[in-house]
Amino acid sequence: MKKQLIASLVGGIILFFWQFLSWSMLNVHGAEMTYTPNEDKILEVLSENLTEGSYFLPGIPPETPSEEHEALMMSNIGKPWVQIQYHESMSMAMGMNMFRAFVIDVLAIFLLTWILLKIPNLDFKTTLLSSLAVGAIGYLTITYLNAVWFETNTIGHLIDLVVSWGLVGTWLGWYLNR
């Protein structure tokens, strides 16, 4: 258990550190947050018309009978659409968010390590490829699948998959096979 805890803690630190670099100094996800010079006008309109929440526009009013859904959706073909995550107040207090992210990273590596330690005759190559496979499963079933439906850019997340899970797999491949 001690080996699994050390592997998880160090692996969590590696994952957390890469995520920090990826989203901040390296700007790997810059294409996901493009600037518009019209942001003040857009934010003003949004603040006058929305309450905090997630929106998909154009949408269907909740009281619309189901037999009218298809007609409403068809009437929007070829028109603009948008997803909005609207928050009424921006906060730069990231302490709790960073703590939660770190705990999640350590937990993810703990689960991966638990799986890896069940493999008889575990070697470096199997550890590295298994780590990349776990990262790929998360990317494909969540990030990429959302990109398929909502036409978003996932190149930054793909880079994160290869680098972060490759680094974690390298660490675990070395440490678990000592």
Domain span at 25 = 2-32+94-175
Is residue 67 a part of any domain in this protein?
no
Task: Tell me which residue of 104, 105, 125, 127 sits closest to 116, measured CA to CA.
Answer: 127
Residue 66's pLDDT band (boundaries 50, 70, 90)?
confident
pLDDT tens-digit readout, 153-169 = 999 999 999 999 999 99
Q: How big, in percent rounded to 5, are the helix, strand and coil portions of the chain?
A: 65, 5, 30
Residue 18 and residue 163 in contact, taking contact as beta carbons nearer than 8 Å: yes
Number of H helices, E strands in the chain: 7, 2
Is residue 43 a part of any domain in this protein?
no
| Global pTM value | 0.86
Is residue 28 a part of any domain in this protein?
yes
Is residue 142 a part of any domain in this protein?
yes
pLDDT tens-digit readout, 34-51 = 899 999 999 999 999 999
Query: What's the number of domains the chain is made of?
Result: 1
Q: Percent of the chain beyond pLDDT 90? A: 85
Is residue 44 a part of any domain in this protein?
no
Handedness of CA 57, 63, 66, 68 (dihedral sign): negative
Is residue 6 a part of any domain in this protein?
yes
